[in-house]
């Protein structure tokens, strides 16, 4: 095993907190109390070491909208341009550093996040109403990305083996592309921006991070940790803002790579814009995107419902269904449909809906009023097919009742469109083949699930399903870095899988050097 392979082999996922232990819960409650005393956090625009404005965006608690969590600067088109200009300067130094040196900086940032772990989990509880288990897992995933990509950078630096012929030497190496624009979502406010930014930096690029306007506080802590660990200020900028800042980054001809996670509508617009190559742009932009999903779980007639029911409920309603991998539909064999619907209805009706800071909460509020209105609008479309709902929900905050609907027509928007909320639809199918036909008809292909006792059925579904991540006899959320590289196909994404061995390849360009080793005389100086 080479040194590079040993580096990857040494990776281990960060252990999550055992929240069944009172000491772990007490430590988180203490961290939340200390955080509340510091609110609101101040998140300035950070460009080349200059701290700009820290006003224009207010991040509030979805469970208590009157609570101000962070006040951030509102970067505009001029700020985005200045950030790219600084990053282009910073790239020259950062990209020239040895991969091992860059890796050490990223591992230093991972160590800093470990120190801030409890604070960061508490911040997600407040800023995004993320329940404690999900908030802690998010911090762990951010640490995992830093550690994994640091090791992957060393492996990538070793190049690839090529065929060698007599009289020549062939070498292949990977060089960073330049400036990476990172446009991040709010639902994983630390892990996803950390993963995309860490990958860009590990490969030797400079990065400009534009976080979601709903979660600038988490992004601010992340960027501070990376700077403290040794990432030069010119090589990493923070531009909190709304859509105009992200759009300006996408258009900028000095940007080489765009790493995006978010909705399909925005992602497809980024792909269209990035495909343009104005005369002052010397390269074709690379777009690395992870977009939406309409994730289906297939339940065969022989499925173990004791296993399927809790896994489906957890996949659909944890964090109020606000994961791109969350279960949105169940396609159940008609022979098992009645039993499954009865048990799902019972499980959904007793879900605990409440504030994210309660350890008992299973379903928190959605992120904002617009999201609440969207979920309720889809729920109203399926009101006559409502099989179960956990009600009442709290009056204060952006709560939407977790709901189960059954038997909608296939062309219903509830069955075809991404809702991104706590609404699960169940459809009876004749057999697994019909279920696969439904999955194949959808424009999305992110995650999927299968519950079956038949190895032949498992192999058949795995061979046909177009999804990027298929989970068999388990929940369909919670991909782990290094173990389940994550990313979708079709309109669910482009590029390789986050947290996997190929991800850094999207941030570099291959270069081959072929040298004639047959010497013709000796040079005279």
Catalytic machinery residues = 290, 324
Within 10 angstroms of residue 514's Cβ, the number of other Cβ atoms is 11
Distance CA 398, CA 374 (A): 11
> Contact 111/231 with Cβ under 8 angstroms?
no
Give, in order, the Cα–Cα distances in Å from 516 to each of 118, 124, 171, 510, 520.
57, 57, 12, 20, 10
Distance CA 373, CA 375 (A): 6
Q: Is the dihedral of CA 333, 337, 341, 344 positive or negative?
A: negative
CA angle, 206 then 211 then 217, to 5°: 115
> Contact 150/156 with Cβ under 8 angstroms?
no
179: phi then psi, degrees, rounded to nearest 5: -100, 130
Tokens of 472: 């068999």
Give, in order, the Cα–Cα distances in Å from 519 to each of 165, 440, 523.
15, 59, 10
Distance CA 151, CA 496 (A): 17
Q: Is residue 501 packed enough to be buried (19+ CB in 10 Å), middle (13-18) or exposed (0-12)?
A: middle
Which residue, 193, 274, 297, is CA-closest to 236? 193
Distance CA 153, CA 504 (A): 7
Within 10 angstroms of residue 427's Cβ, the number of other Cβ atoms is 21
Tokens of 25: 């819960």
How many CA atoms does the CB half-sphere of 404 hold within 13 Å? 24
Distance CA 107, CA 125 (A): 25
Which residues, other chains included, contact 522 with Cβ-Cβ below 8 Å and sequence gap of 6+?
Answer: none
- Residue 40 in 3-state DSSP? coil
Tokens of 404: 């189960």
How many CA atoms does the CB half-sphere of 125 hold within 13 Å? 25
Element (H, E) at 508: strand 508-516
Tokens of 292: 């939406």
The distance of Cα 316 from the centroid of its chain, to the nearest Å, equals: 17
Within 10 angstroms of residue 230's Cβ, the number of other Cβ atoms is 16
Tokens of 275: 């495909």
Tokens of 85: 């200009």
């Amino acid at each position: 095993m080479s040194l590079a392979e040993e580096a990857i082999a040494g990776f281990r996922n960060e252990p999550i907190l055992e929240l069944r232990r009172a000491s772990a819960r007490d430590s988180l409650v203490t961290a939340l109390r200390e955080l509340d005393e510091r609110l609101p956090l101040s998140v300035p625009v950070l460009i080349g070491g200059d701290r700009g404005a820290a006003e224009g965006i207010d991040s509030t608690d979805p469970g208590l909208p009157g609570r101000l969590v962070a006040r951030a600067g509102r970067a505009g088109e001029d700020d985005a341009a200045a950030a790219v200009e600084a990053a282009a300067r910073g790239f020259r130094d950062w990209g020239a550093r040895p991969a091992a040196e860059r890796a050490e900086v990223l591992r230093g940032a991972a160590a800093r996040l470990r120190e801030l772990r409890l604070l960061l989990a508490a911040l997600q509880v407040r800023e995004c109403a993320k329940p404690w288990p999900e908030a802690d897992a998010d911090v762990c995933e951010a640490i995992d990305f830093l550690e994994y990509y640091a090791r992957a950078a060393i492996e990538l630096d070793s190049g690839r083996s090529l065929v060698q012929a007599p009289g020549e030497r062939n070498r292949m190496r990977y060089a960073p592309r330049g400036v990476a624009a990172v446009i991040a979502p709010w639902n994983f406010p630390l892990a996803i921006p950390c993963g995309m930014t860490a990958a860009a930096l590990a490969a030797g690029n400079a990065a400009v991070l534009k976080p979601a306007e709903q979660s600038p506080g988490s992004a601010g802590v992340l960027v501070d940790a990376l700077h403290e660990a040794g990432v030069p200020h010119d090589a990493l900028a923070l531009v909190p803002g709304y859509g105009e800042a992200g759009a300006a980054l996408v258009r900028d001809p000095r940007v080489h790579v765009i790493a995006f996670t978010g909705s399909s509508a925005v992602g497809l617009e980024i792909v269209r814009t990035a495909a343009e190559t104005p005369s002052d742009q010397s390269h074709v932009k690379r777009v690395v995107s992870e977009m939406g999903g309409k994730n289906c779980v297939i339940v065969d007639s022989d499925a173990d419902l004791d296993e399927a029911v809790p896994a489906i409920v957890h996949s659909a309603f944890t964090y109020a269904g606000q994961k791109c991998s969350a279960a949105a539909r169940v396609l159940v064999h008609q022979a098992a449909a009645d039993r499954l619907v009865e048990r799902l209805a019972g499980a959904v009706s007793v879900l605990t809906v409440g504030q994210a800071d309660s350890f008992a909460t299973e379903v928190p509020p959605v992120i904002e009023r617009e999201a609440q209105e969207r979920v309720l609008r889809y729920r109203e479309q399926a009101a006559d097919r409502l099989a179960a709902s956990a009600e009442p929900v709290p009056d204060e905050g952006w709560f939407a009742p977790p709901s189960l609907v059954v038997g909608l027509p296939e062309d219903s928007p509830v069955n075809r469109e991404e809702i991104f909320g706590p609404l699960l639809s169940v459809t009876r199918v004749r057999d697994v083949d019909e279920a696969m036909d439904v999955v194949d008809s959808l424009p999305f292909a992110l995650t999927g699930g299968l519950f079956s006792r038949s190895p032949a059925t498992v192999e058949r579904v795995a061979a046909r399903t177009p999804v990027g991540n298929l989970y068999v006899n388990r929940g369909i959320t919670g991909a782990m870095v290094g173990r389940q590289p994550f990313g979708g196909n079709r309109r669910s994404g482009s590029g390789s899988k986050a947290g996997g061995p190929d991800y850094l390849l999207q941030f570099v360009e291959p270069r081959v050097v072929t040298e004639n080793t047959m010497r013709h005389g000796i040079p005279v100086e």
